[in-house]
Amino acid sequence: MHTLFKHQLLVLSLIWLSIGVFAQKQNVIRPGDIWPDEDGKHIQAHGGGIIKIGKTYYWYGEERSKGLDTNYRYVSCYSSKDLMNWKFRGDVVKMSDPENLGRRWVLERPKVFYNKRTKKYVMYFHLDNSTYKFARVGIAVSDKPDGQFTYVKSFRPLGHESRDIGQFIDDDGTAYLVFEDRPFGFRIARLADDYMDVEKEMTLVKAHMEGGAIVHYQGLYYSIGSALTGWKANPNKYSTAPTLEGPWTEFKDIAPPETNTYGSQSTMLIKVVGKKTTTIIFMADVWKPGTQWDSRYIWMPLKIGEGKLWVPEPKPWTLNIKTGEWKYVQENAGEQKKNN
Ligand code: DGJ
C-alpha cells in the first residue's frame, strides 16, 4: 500500500475511534441544561430516584419522551459509575392503567429499593387518577435492576393518603418511604423486611410539603421539601432532627427565596462518600409542564453541616467519584450554548 494512503487511513481510523469512544464522555454536570446520555439523547428520568449497587448507580425516573403511546406510563433506567455519564438501560416499566383510573392516570416519582434478603428490586411510585384523588403508592418488582418490573399492587401506606414520594436509605441500610399526606404534612415510614409494604411510621412532619427528601449527615437528619404549587417552582425549605422521629426544627430556605429554588423542585439528596470527603448532591427537577420531555435537572453539591444547608448558585461542576470532591468548571460560551 502507498505510504501516504496508509498514513491517511491511520489518521482517519484514529479520528473515527476517538469519536466513537469519547464523543459522549462528559466530566461536567451542567445544572438546568440538556443532559445527554451516552447516546447523546436528553436523559428522561424525571422525578427520579437513585440507588447504588456495588459500584454502579442506577437512576430511575419518569420517561416523558415526545411521541410515547399515551395509553401507557413509562419508567426509564440509566446506569453510571461516576454520576456524570449515564447509559440508557431501557424503559423498565411500560404499564397500562393498572387500577381503572381513567384516561389521564398518573404514575410519578418512581423509586427503586434493592432488597438484599429477597434479591428483588422493588419499585414504589405515586399512582393516581387525573384529579389526584386516588392518592396511593403502587409497587412493581423485578429480579434485575434493569427490569422488566411487574406490577404487584397499590395501597395507602399505613392507611394514609400518599402523593409525592421520596426514598431514604439510612447509613445502616434501613429503607424508608417519605410520602405526602395532605392535609397533615409528610410522613417518614420504614419499609417492611421484604420492602413489599410500609411497616412503621417514624414521624409525621407537620408541614405542607412535597418532593420530600432526606439525608443523614454528620449525626443529623436533614429533610427538604417544596411547597404545594403544582408544577410551578417555589422556595424549597429544610429542617433538621437528631433522629428520624424528631423533633424537627422549623423549616428554613435552602436558596434565595426570590429564585424559587433556581426554578426547580426537590427530588432527592444523594450522598457520595469518597476517600477524602463526603458530598451531598441536591437533585431537583426543572419542570416544563407544556413540554415535559424537555424538563431539566438541577443537581448541585450542597453546603451542609452543623444544622445548616444551602444550595449554591447552579453552575457547571465536576465530581471525583473516588475522592468525593467536587469543583466548579469554567466553560467557554460555545460549550454553554450547545447545551441550552
Ligand atoms: C408537584 C409534584 O411534586 C409533581 O411530582 C407532580 O405531582 C406535580 N405536582 C403535578 O402537578
Task: Locate 92 and state its grid cell.
Answer: 423498565
CATH superfamily assigned to domain 2-338: Glycosyl hydrolase domain; family 43 (2.115.10.20)
The CA distance from 141 to 50, in Å, is 16
Average pLDDT of the segment spanning 108-130:
98
Closest-CA residue, ligand 1 atom 9, reads 230
pLDDT digits (tens, 9 = 90+) for 225-241: 999 999 999 999 999 99
* Ligand 1 centroid distance, CA of 21 (Å): 38
* Residue 10 pLDDT: 54
Ligand 1 mutation target, pool 108, 261, 295, most atoms within 8 A of CB: 108
Q: Which residues line ligand 1 at a C-beta cut-off of 6 Å?
A: 47, 108-109, 164, 210-211, 230-231, 265
Tell me the pLDDT of the chain averaged across its residues.
94
Task: Locate 308 and state its grid cell.
Answer: 445548616
Average pLDDT of the segment spanning 121-143:
98
Residue 139's beta-bridge partner residues?
124, 153
* Ligand 1 centroid distance, CA of 151 (Å): 22
pLDDT digits (tens, 9 = 90+) for 34-55: 999 999 999 999 999 999 999 9
Percent of the chain with pLDDT over 70: 91
Average pLDDT of the segment spanning 269-292:
98
Q: Of 264, 253, 260, 337, nearest to 300 (Cα)?
A: 264
pTM of the model: 0.93
CA of residue 220 relative to chain centroid, distance = 22
* Ligand 1 centroid distance, CA of 231 (Å): 6
Question: Per residue in 49-64, is it b (16+ CB within 10 Å) or e — as a string?
Answer: bbbbeeeebbbbbbbb
The CA distance from 200 to 182, in Å, is 19
pLDDT digits (tens, 9 = 90+) for 57-90: 999 999 999 999 999 999 999 999 999 999 999 9
pLDDT digits (tens, 9 = 90+) for 319-333: 999 999 999 999 876
Average pLDDT of the segment spanning 144-164:
98
* Residue 294 pLDDT: 98
The CA distance from 139 to 150, in Å, is 8
Asked if residues 317 and 326 have their Cβ atoms less than 8 Å apart, the reply is yes
Residue 164 has pLDDT above 60, yes or no: yes
Residue 2 has pLDDT above 90, yes or no: no
pLDDT digits (tens, 9 = 90+) for 202-229: 999 999 999 999 999 999 999 999 999 9
* Ligand 1 centroid distance, CA of 19 (Å): 39
Average pLDDT of the segment spanning 244-248:
97
From residue 123, alpha-carbon distances to 108, 154, 167, 226, 328 in Å are: 11, 11, 10, 23, 34
* Residue 22 pLDDT: 47
Average pLDDT of the segment spanning 311-316:
98
- Other beta carbons within 10 angstroms of residue 287's beta carbon come to 20
Collapse the DSSP code of 18 into the 3-class scheme (helix H, G, I; strand E, B; otherwise coil) and give the result. helix
Q: Of 75, 43, 79, nearest to 62 (Cα)?
A: 75
3-state SS of 178-212 is EEEECCCEEEEEEECCCCCCEEEEEEEECCCCEEE
Residue 139 has pLDDT above 80, yes or no: yes
* Ligand 1 centroid distance, CA of 1 (Å): 64
Task: Locate 312 and state its grid cell.
Answer: 449554591
Ligand 1 mutation target, pool 165, 210, 226, 283, most atoms within 8 A of CB: 210
Q: Which residue is listed with cell 427538604?
A: 224
* Residue 332 pLDDT: 76
* Residue 24 pLDDT: 60
* DSSP annotation string for 195-256: SSSEEEEEEEE-S--EEEEEEEETTEEEEEEE-S-TTS----EEEEESSTT-PPPPPEESS-
- Domain borders along the chain are 2-338
